[in-house]
Amino acid sequence: MRVTIKDIASKVGVTAATVSMVINNNKKISEATRDKVLKAIQEMNYHPNYIGRSLVMGKTENICLVATSFASVFSLELVKGVEQRLCDTKYNLSLYSTRGSAENEREILKKIFYERRVDGVLSMTATFDKRLIEEFKNQEMPVVLVEQVTEGAPCVKVDNVKGGYLATDYLIKKGRKDIVIVLGQKGAANADERQAGYEKALGDNGMQVNEDNIIRLIHYSFEEGKEIMKKIVNDGRKVDAIFSAAGDVCAMGILAEAKAHNIRIPEDMSLIGFDDLYMATLTTPALTTIKQPIEEMGMQALDMLLNIIEKKSGDTSRVISFEPTLIIRDSA
């Protein structure tokens, strides 16, 4: 049998309540009994059962990170940031991946707070709408959103408008006239914002938006990047720059396919990515890209969540926006 608080109590000759008070550093306990209890705890190798404690305290000391999947470099970096901050606290991290339909995602999120498995939630999922946030509030379950702004919940994100602007403006200043932008699906916050930055930069420089220059993809993948470049070549289009606002991996696909068609980069065509994954330094030419401080975002998101959990802040409408930066390498 595992040793419980009662075992300690009976060994020392006090009650469980006393032992509990010693554990929780209650000042009203005499030195003498405190020492005896502590000694017994040592000897019997006692550790308080976390489930018992959780039940009475109403806290699990667990927080979770929810994402559609953890297969991306983005989520890895985020986990890194969260983890780094978490190790100084008493909290543990659980990962919930909601692979599958939006409905399934909703179910998982609901389970999380109704079953009280965690004290707070960090979410990178898409289905976090106002209704769901309302339910979280009703259940008093703190939540911080990452990369997605929804009214009523605090959020950590990157200034994607600025990211889109920086890249586009740089290309224009380099003399590029016909700039393709590759984006995720319409409606995805990052895609819409980056597009807005792209269009603003064009406008500020007295240029028109050409709808043909807006290309969309779904998985942000290497393969899609190749397909996009292949189509541009097959269509016989003359394009002097591509801004892969859908990330570095896609940009790498574009690069690979461009090489296969003997298109020289950056001489014939400029290429800019988004993310600044470290492999962006490894291609030839090395990729010019927009850097997002993902790890810092993870830390910040966790800090916000812990503040809410521990009631140091009730501010549920705070949006922290990180500044992206242009990293100039060889591809543009």
Sign of CA dihedral 185, 188, 191, 197: positive
The span of 15-23, 151-159, 240-248, 296-304 binding DNA (CB under 7 A) equals 15-23
How near is the Cβ of 284 to DNA at its closest, in Å? Answer: 57
Question: Rule CB under 7 A: is residue 17 a binding residue for DNA?
Answer: yes
Which span sits near a copy of itself by CB under 8 A: 11-19, 20-28, 115-123, 296-304? 115-123
Q: Which of 131, 234, 278, 311 binds a copy of itself (CB under 8 A)?
A: 278
How far is it, in rounded angstroms, from Cα 282 to Cα 303? 33
Contacts with a copy of itself in 255-274 (CB under 8 A)? 255-256, 259
Among 11, 21, 257, 287, interactor with DNA by CB under 7 A? 21
CA distance 175 to 291: 22
- Choose from a copy of itself, DNA, none: what does 28 bind? Cβ within 5-8 Å by kind: DNA
Binding-site member from 23, 93, 279, 320 for DNA (CB under 7 A): 23
CB 220 within 8 A of CB 247: yes
Cβ-proximal residues to 167 (8 Å cutoff; 6+ apart), any chain: 197, 198, 243, 245, 272, 274, 290, 326
Out of 35, 42, 56, 252, which residue is the one contacting DNA (CB under 7 A)?
A: 56
Q: Does 97 bind a copy of itself (CB under 8 A)?
A: yes
Rule CB under 8 A: say whether 131 interacts with a copy of itself. Answer: no
Query: What secondary structure letter does DSSP report for 107?
Result: H
For the window 42-61, what string marks contact with a copy of itself as x by the rule CB under 8 A? Answer: ---xxxxxxxx-xx----x-
52 binds DNA (CB under 7 A): yes
Task: Return the residue matching tokens 């009650």.
Answer: 15
> Please, which residues have CB within 8 angstroms of residue 329's CB and are 6 or more apart in sequence?
280, 281, 285, 286, 287, 288, 289
Q: Of 167, 161, 163, which is closest to residue 149 (Cα–Cα)?
A: 161
Residue nearer to a copy of itself on the CB measure, 96 or 243: 96
Per CB under 8 A, does 13 bind a copy of itself? no
Q: Please, where are the H alpha helices in the chain?
A: 5-12, 16-23, 31-44, 50-57, 73-86, 102-114, 130-138, 160-173, 189-204, 222-234, 248-260, 294-309
Determine if 53 is a binding residue for DNA (CB under 7 A).
yes
Name the 3-class secondary structure at 228.
helix
Alpha-carbon gap, residue 164 to 141, rounded angstroms: 34
CB of 52 to a copy of itself, least distance (A): 6
- Binding to a copy of itself (CB under 8 A) within 204-243 occurs at 222
Whether 220 contacts 275, CB under 8 Å: no
Binding residues for DNA, per CB under 7 A?
Answer: 2, 4-6, 13-18, 20-21, 23-24, 27-30, 32-34, 47-49, 51-53, 55-58
Binding residues for a copy of itself, per CB under 8 A?
Answer: 2, 45-52, 54-55, 60, 62, 69-71, 73, 76, 79-80, 83, 87, 92-97, 99-100, 110-111, 114-117, 139, 222, 249, 252, 255-256, 259, 277-279, 281-284
